[in-house]
Amino acid sequence: MIELKLKQISSIINQIIENSLYGTDILYKAAFHLPSHGGKRLRPFLVIKSCELVGGNIEVALPAATAIELLHNFTLVHDDIMDNDILRRGVPTVHTLWGIPMGILAGDLLFAKAFQLLLSSPHVNYERLIKAAKIMADATITISEGQSLDMIFEKRMDVTEEEYLTMVYKKTGALFKASAEIGGLIGGGDENAIKLLGEYGSNIGIGFQIFDDYLGLFSKEEILGKPIGNDIREGKKTLIVIKALSSPIRDYLLKILGKKDISNQEIYELIDEIKQQGIDEYVLNKAKSYINIAINSIIEFPESEAKKDLIELAKYAISRIK
């Protein structure tokens, strides 16, 4: 059900993205590459449903929803360069196809297009639109801080669960939070509604990212569109890794963590060990707890289709297969 609704929203958002990035030259081709190859469009869905939850309609939220998706894609394009990732969504990453300089520039263009689109939202009160744009700028700053932490953590072996959660809030939670708040703002919500939507967004974002790290190890390459165990090869301090580092399998993990040339066999062995330690269960429960907080944040809103969709979205964040 939620997947059908996500698809419907996707097809509208995809059309706006295509119009926004239409161009025949290299720069526009490079910028359009990632957003044209799928993506779940969870964040635009969140913008739209948050807008509807407070009584707004989808039309006013569409530019903002698309802007958030472009912003998200900008961070992915740059992250892939920073992390040396060569595959995403089953296709080569932008810098793999067009080189690092064009990858950087394509990301920059997506970032600028995000602001251009948001600021062109028609029928939105000017004061609210400025607040929405400010939220988007603030979120981008937070995301940059999160990505910086993520990279710094690669070199550290003593990252705590608390530090991981801060990083994950910044890297992922902040944009989900911004999506929900911007939807609420554009939909005409009052201060309290926007605050609750923000709590919903940041918690769903954290739960989503914890589960995303889980899928990165426990899903399959053909479903995920990128190799299993990339996080291990890059030395990422996911919650799984952090828990494993304080378990009996610490020494085994330390031997392979951050090594670019780990074999699939070694990854599968690691997965078995992680399961035997019950770390997969721990991590899933952690993700679930954030999703429950998210759902509770919006529980007091009167019943509506949008509310049902947001609750479904929260559950989907930790039940999806990719």
Who contacts 322 (Cβ-Cβ below 8 Å, separation ≥6)?
Answer: 215, 219, 223, 224, 225
Point out which residues pair with 91 in neighbouring strands. 88
Residue of the chain from 7, 55, 57, 130 that contacts a second copy (CB under 8 A): 130
- Residue identified by tokens 């918690």 is 203
Point out which residues pair with 87 in neighbouring strands. 92
Which structure tokens are listed for 51? 């807008």
Choose between 138 and 199: whose C-beta lies nearer to a second copy.
Answer: 138
Residue of the chain from 11, 19, 26, 278 that contacts a second copy (CB under 8 A): 26
Choose between 118 and 165: whose C-beta lies nearer to a second copy.
Answer: 118
Residue of the chain from 87, 91, 145, 293 that contacts a second copy (CB under 8 A): 145
Helix, strand, coil % (nearest 5) of the chain? 75, 0, 25
Q: Whole-number minimum distance, CB 38 to a second copy, in Å?
A: 24
Residue of the chain from 120, 246, 263, 285 that contacts a second copy (CB under 8 A): 120
Q: Is 186 in the site for a second copy (CB under 8 A)?
A: no
Burial label, 150 (beta-carbon count in 10 A; 0-12, 13-18, 19+): buried
What span, in angstroms and rounded, lies between the C-alpha atoms of 29 and 32?
5
Residue of the chain from 105, 159, 244, 313 that contacts a second copy (CB under 8 A): 105
Q: Whole-number minimum distance, CB 77 to a second copy, in Å?
A: 10
Q: Is 19 in the site for a second copy (CB under 8 A)?
A: no
Query: 154 to each of 7, 257, 275, 283, how far by Cα in Å?
Result: 35, 9, 23, 19
Which structure tokens are listed for 260? 């670019």
What span, in angstroms and rounded, lies between the C-alpha atoms of 205 and 253?
27
Choose between 77 and 165: whose C-beta lies nearer to a second copy.
Answer: 77
Scan residues 50-89 and list those touching a second copy (CB under 8 A): 78, 81-83
Residue of the chain from 137, 223, 254, 299 that contacts a second copy (CB under 8 A): 137
Choose between 113 and 286: whose C-beta lies nearer to a second copy.
Answer: 113
Report the 10 Å Cβ neighbour count for 57.
12
Q: Is 140 in the site for a second copy (CB under 8 A)?
A: yes
- Among 170, 157, 253, 159, smallest CA distance to 209 is for 170
Q: Is 152 in the site for a second copy (CB under 8 A)?
A: yes
Q: Whole-number minimum distance, CB 147 to a second copy, in Å?
A: 6
Residue of the chain from 87, 104, 284, 293 that contacts a second copy (CB under 8 A): 104
Which residues lie near a second copy (CB under 8 A)? 25-27, 78, 81-83, 100-102, 104-105, 107-109, 111-113, 115-116, 119-120, 126-127, 129-130, 133-134, 136-138, 140-141, 144-145, 147-148, 151-152
